[in-house]
Amino acid sequence: MSAAFVFIILLPLLDGTIEKFGGIFCIAVIFLLPRIFGIGFQGGSKPYSFLLIFVAGTLCCKYNFFQKLHEYRRKKLKFICLSALLCAGFFLYHKIDLKIFWEFRYALVPFLLILFCVEYLFRITPVSLFLQYLGKHSMNIWLVHTFVRDSLGKYVFALKKFWLIPVAVLVISLGISYCLDFLKEDYRISETDTAVKEKGDGTLCGTGMIFREDRNRIQSGQ
């Protein structure tokens, strides 16, 4: 969660820098600074390792890159290029030295995978519907998944199949999300009831407040 909080804090500064100097400048600075100062690879759990992909995502959102990619008319060329780049990325994934070019594993390949999925996989109707369903709980899942991973790690990581680990974290986080939504809804109803009483023994109807005397007048046909 620490990396997420760092990025949230950095987002306004990053947005202002992009507005003033452009996205290419930001990417170049993030790439060159650790090499100029001899910092080197920070490790897979450090925020800086994921900063470049975070900037790439910010730029895609800011300039509507996914939509522009989808509207690109040369469909076959787009598919061939994305497929070839992604295959090359997977082939070289463990061959590129992290100490020299860690951005390859932590930014470039993930970005290519995201592009391919957004353009092709996520547009398949069942996949799209499932993602829309998850999207309703995405904030809660994001908030609790590290808690699930850290608190239930000895059970989650005990699973023999590696692919079951993220699935288990997702399922547990989704279950917690349902509980959180239930509590929030219950609190919202309780808060509404309190507000109604404070307003003078009224009741909510539609989008407005109709007090008891107005409601009785409506029911009597006056």
131-168 pLDDT, tens digit per residue, is 999 989 988 888 888 888 888 877 887 887 888 888 88
Residue positions counted in the chain: 222
For every residue of 137-197, DSSP letters joined together read THHHHHHHHHHHHHHSHHHHTT-SSTTHHHHHHHHHHHHHHHHHHHHHHHHHHHHHHHHHH
Last residue of a domain, one of 100, 123, 146: 123
Residue 214, both tokens: 């107005």
Residue 155, both tokens: 């059970």
Give the chain's mean pLDDT.
Answer: 82
Cα angle 212-216-217, degrees, rounded to a multiple of 5: 120
Query: Does residue 118 share a domain with residue 147?
Result: no
Average pLDDT over residues 163-179: 89
Query: Does residue 155 share a domain with residue 132?
Result: yes
208 falls in which pLDDT band (50, 70, 90)? Answer: very low
Query: Does residue 109 share a domain with residue 133?
Result: no
Query: Does residue 140 share a domain with residue 65?
Result: no
Is the entire prediction scored with pTM above 0.85? no
Query: Does residue 94 share a domain with residue 33?
Result: yes
Query: Does residue 133 share a domain with residue 23?
Result: no
DSSP state of 221: T
Query: Does residue 19 share a domain with residue 117?
Result: yes
Nearest 10 degrees: Cα torsion 172, 176, 178, 183 = 170
Q: Above 50 in pLDDT, residue 119?
A: yes
Query: Does residue 106 share a domain with residue 5?
Result: yes
Q: Are 56 and 18 in contact (CB under 8 A)?
A: no
Q: Above 60 in pLDDT, residue 173?
A: yes
- Residue 209 sits at φ, ψ, to 5 deg, of -105, 120
CA atoms in the 13 A half-sphere facing the CB of 96:
18
